Amino acid sequence: MRIVAARQGWRWLGLGWALFRRSPLGWLSLVLAYWLLIALLNEVPHAGAVVSTLLLPAFSMSFMNACADAGHGLRPSIRMIFSGFRHRLSTLLVVGGLYLLSILLVLGIASLVDGGTLFRWIARGVPPPETAIADGSVLNALLLACVVAAPSLMAFWFAPPLAAWRNMGAAQSMFYSFFAGLRNWRAFAMYGLAIAMAGLAMSLIIAVIAVAVRGNPALMRSIMLGITIGLLPTIFASFYYSYQDIFADSEATLAGDARAEGGEPPAPEADA
């Protein structure tokens, strides 16, 4: 485990974008296949959402495997969609189960603020009443959920690759993931800022497009879907580079990708 410079958080997103640009059609086919599978699972009442959450770490590893292959010059393809299911699937399912429990715990704590309105909205799709929106209880519950969920997110961020690539158990992978995030909080703060700025830029672009195509909501929805699908591979690839930077012996890999991006190779700040 390494402690990296804060600027690396920004570079993770940049390297992710560079990786996506090498083979956009391959990445888009992979994302579309993932979305289709999740949509089909969610059509199953009650159990579908549970199963899709349990499988999330395995699907995450499919994208991580695709990123690793792309980093070595191979093209990502739809055939990679189940590659994360081939190694240590039982451990990844345990990680998924713990992730599901953490979501329920976070929503349960948030229910102390709004009486369970947010829980019913997310878990059952029941929209909040206007009174809950007007009095701010849903917003307060959402803010509380974000704060409470932060440690959980840190624990699960690196857990799938640590379990699949480092052969760690579910609890051990979450332990290392949590402290990796904690010790690299500066880089993750910069990463969050980079994503927020990218989101703001996309919002401005969408606003301009909305003015240009007003009166055609179907076209607007298609454009927004296309932008979202294009951003997802960049985000997935940035996950891969954050892992490579902090956990893997990846100086050569990151250097090569930095040169492809047009920059200098990143260097760790300190060993841990």
Residue 249: pLDDT band with limits 50, 70, 90: low
Instruction: For residue 256, name the pLDDT band (cuts at 50, 70, 90).
Output: very low
pTM: 0.81
Encoding tokens for residue 200? 């703001």
Q: Write out the two tokens for 56.
A: 């999330």
Q: Give pairs for 30-37: CB < 8 Å, separation 24+.
A: 30/62, 30/63, 30/66, 30/76, 30/77, 30/78, 30/80, 30/81, 30/233, 31/229, 31/232, 31/233, 32/229, 33/78, 33/81, 34/59, 34/62, 34/63, 34/81, 35/229, 37/81
SS3 at position 40: helix
- Name which residue leads in pLDDT, 130 or 251: 130
State the CB neighbour count (10 A cutoff) for residue 218: 8
Sign of CA dihedral 235, 256, 201, 184: positive
Reported as a single tens digit per residue, the pLDDT across 196-242 is: 888 788 778 777 777 776 766 776 677 777 777 778 888 889 999 99
Residue 39 has pLDDT above 80, yes or no: yes
CA–CA gap between residue 107 and residue 104 (Å, rounded): 5
Mean pLDDT of 5-16: 91
User: Rounded to an integer, what distance in angstroms lies between the CA atom of residue 144 and that of residue 151?
Assistant: 13
Whole-number Å distance between alpha carbons of 115 and 133: 13
Rounded distance, CA 117 to CA 181, Å? Answer: 31
Q: Which of 252, 235, 242 minimizes the C-alpha distance to 72?
A: 252
**Highest mean pLDDT, choosing among 128-137, 186-195, 197-206, 226-235:** 186-195
- Lowest-confidence segment of 2-16, 89-103, 156-170, 219-233 by average pLDDT: 219-233
Q: Between the ranges 90-104, 134-148, 189-203, where is the mean pLDDT highest?
A: 90-104
Give the C-alpha distances (Å, rounded to integers) separating 89 from 117, 192, 232.
Answer: 34, 30, 24
Q: What does the angle CA 28 – CA 159 – CA 106 come to, to the nearest 5 degrees?
A: 95
Summarised one tens digit per residue, pLDDT across range 145-185 is: 888 889 999 999 999 999 999 999 999 999 999 999 999 99
